[in-house]
Homo-oligomer: A and B are copies of this chain.
Amino acid sequence: MTSRTLHLNAFLMGVGHHEAAWRHPRVDPARALDAAHYVELGRIAERGRLDSVFFADGLAVGPHVHRNTQAVFEPITLLTAIAAATTHVGLIATASTSYNEPYTLARAFASLDRISNGRAGWNIVTSGSDAEAANFGLDRVPAHAARYGRATEFLDVALALWDSWEPDAILQDASSGVFADPAKVHRADHVGQHFRVAGPLNVPASPQGRPVLVQAGSSESGKAFAAQYAEAVFTAQRTLAEGQAFYADLKGRLAGYGRRPEDLAVLPGIVPFIAPTTAQARALEQEFTDLISPDYALRQLSGMLGVDLTDHPLDAPLPPVPPIDAIEGNKSRYQLVRDLAEGESLTVRELIARLGGGRGHRTFAGTPVEVADEIQRWFEQGAADGFNVMPPYLPGGLEVFVETVVPILQDRGLFRREYDGTTLREHLGLRPHVNRYAVEEAERAAG
C-alpha cells in the first residue's frame, strides 16, 4: 500500500456545482460565459498537481432555458484552450456515443491528445434525455440497452482507430522521400451492427498511445461497460459503506475482462465547503442552500425522478415515483435520489437542499483537516482511489481546496508534490498503452 497514490480530478462546472452558486456574493456569474475563467481553473488545478480537470456535457439546452449556465462551451474545444495554457494537468471531456460518429469523435480526441502531448481523457456517455434526442432526429431517447449496445461497438471502433498508427510508423526520411512506413499504418475494416468504418485514422498516436477512458454511469449496464473499458470511474456515493460496496463490486468485475484492479481508478464525487472552522464551513454551506430557488429545484428533481413535482408541497415527503425499469434516462441518478429521499425520510424541501450542492454527490462541510481526513478515510478503507472534487463555487472553491487541503494530503504522503510524468495515463498510474499491431508483430517475431 505504501506506493499507492491518491488521484484527484477537478470537476469544473460554470461558476460552481452548487445550483445557486451564481447568486452568491463570492461568485461573478459572468465568468461562466468567459473561456478565460476555465483556462484559469485549469491553471489552478495544475498548481495543485491534480491529475486532471473534467467537464460534463449535454447536447441540449435545458430542461430549463432560463437557468442554463453550464453547457456554454463544447468540452473538447474548451479543454484544447486549457491545454495551450498548461503543461501537465489531464484534460477529460465528456462526449456522447449516441450522437457522434466514431471516426470524427476518435479523431477529435486524438487531436486534443496530440495537442496536449498526451493529456486527453474521454468521459463516455450515452446521452439519456429526450431533449438531446430531439436535436438528432428522434422523438425520444433510445432505450437504455440500445444506447449501451451502440456505445460498446463505438468503443471497439474508436480503440481500433487509435491503434491505426504504430508508434514507430513515422519515418520522415527526407532523403528517400518516405514519410511513413505503410506496413505500420493499419486499416480498421470494422463492419458491425451500427457502424462500418474502414480507417486508418488520420491522426497518428499521441505520447500516451490513446486517450484515457472514463465512465460515470452506475447502472448495471454502466458498471459492466466500465469494467470492460474504463480506466477511471466517476461515481456518486453517499456513505463510506455504500462507497466500499460500489468499489468492491466494480473492482471485482475487472478480472472477467482480463483486467487488474489497478487498471481502473474509482473516484467518488465530493462537494467540499471549506472554512477555517467547522462552524464557518457549515454556515457557508447554509448560505448557498438559502439561495436555492425552489421552483427551479423542483423542475430539476422532476427530471431526475421522471415525475412532475412542480405543484407538490415542499414540506411533504416525495410522492410515489416510477419503478427504475421505467427510467430510460439516467438510471444511476434516479436511484441515488430515490434512495436518499427514502433512506433518510426527507421532505421535498430537505431533499432539494441535500441535492443543491452536487445533484446527489456527497456534500461535506469542514475544515481543511476534516476534508483531508475524510478523503484519507475513504482512500484507506477501500471506498476510493481518489476523488472527483466538485467545488461548490468557482474559482474560489477550487483555490481553497488546492491551497489548504492538497498540502495536508502531500504532508501525509498521500498525494504527489510534483508531477512525475507528463501524460494523464502516467498521472493515473496506468500501464503504458501497447498498440495491438505492435503486440502481433512481437508475437510473430517470437515465433
Contact = CB atoms under 8 A, between A and B. Distances in A.
Contacts of A164: 61
A248 interface: no
Contacts of A145: none
Interface string A84-105: 1100000000000001110110
Interface string A106-143: 01101110110000000000000001001111100000
Contact of A33 (B108, B182, B204, B296): B204
Given A77-B115, A81-B81, A293-B177, A185 B101 contact: no
Interface string A287-299: 0000101001000
A114 B164 CA distance: 33
A339 B182 CA distance: 33
- For chain A, the bracket of interface size reads 35 or more
Contacts of A401: none
Given A61-B201, A66-B180, A73-B203, A195 B137 contact: yes
B177 A296 contact: yes
Given A172-B22, A177-B296, A179-B22, A204 B72 contact: yes
A174 B66 contact: no
Contacts of A177: 20, 23, 291, 293, 296
B180 A73 contact: no
How many copies altogether?
Answer: 2
Contact of A197 (B29, B135, B204): B135
Contact of A66 (B83, B104, B136, B182): B182
A135 B103 contact: yes
Interface string A1-41: 00000000000000000001011100001100101000100
Nearest to A201: B61
Interface in A47-104: 58-61, 65-69, 71-74, 76-78, 80-81, 83-85, 99-101, 103-104
Contacts of A136: 101, 103, 197
Contacts of A30: 172
Contacts of A78: 111, 115
A104 B111 contact: no
Given A66-B178, A174-B29, A197-B137, A111 B73 contact: yes
A306 interface: no
Contacts of A103: 59, 99, 135-136
23 contacts: A23-B177, A29-B179, A61-B164, A65-B185, A68-B180, A71-B203, A72-B203, A73-B114, A74-B110, A78-B111, A80-B84, A84-B84, A99-B104, A100-B101, A100-B104, A131-B198, A134-B197, A135-B197, A135-B198, A137-B197, A177-B291, A177-B293, A177-B296
6 tightest A-B CB contacts, nearest first: A84-B84, A134-B198, A74-B111, A80-B80, A71-B202, A23-B174
Interface of A: 20, 22-24, 29-30, 33, 35, 39, 58-61, 65-69, 71-74, 76-78, 80-81, 83-85, 99-101, 103-104, 107-108, 110-112, 114-115, 131, 134-138, 164, 170, 172, 174-175, 177-182, 185, 195-204, 291, 293, 296
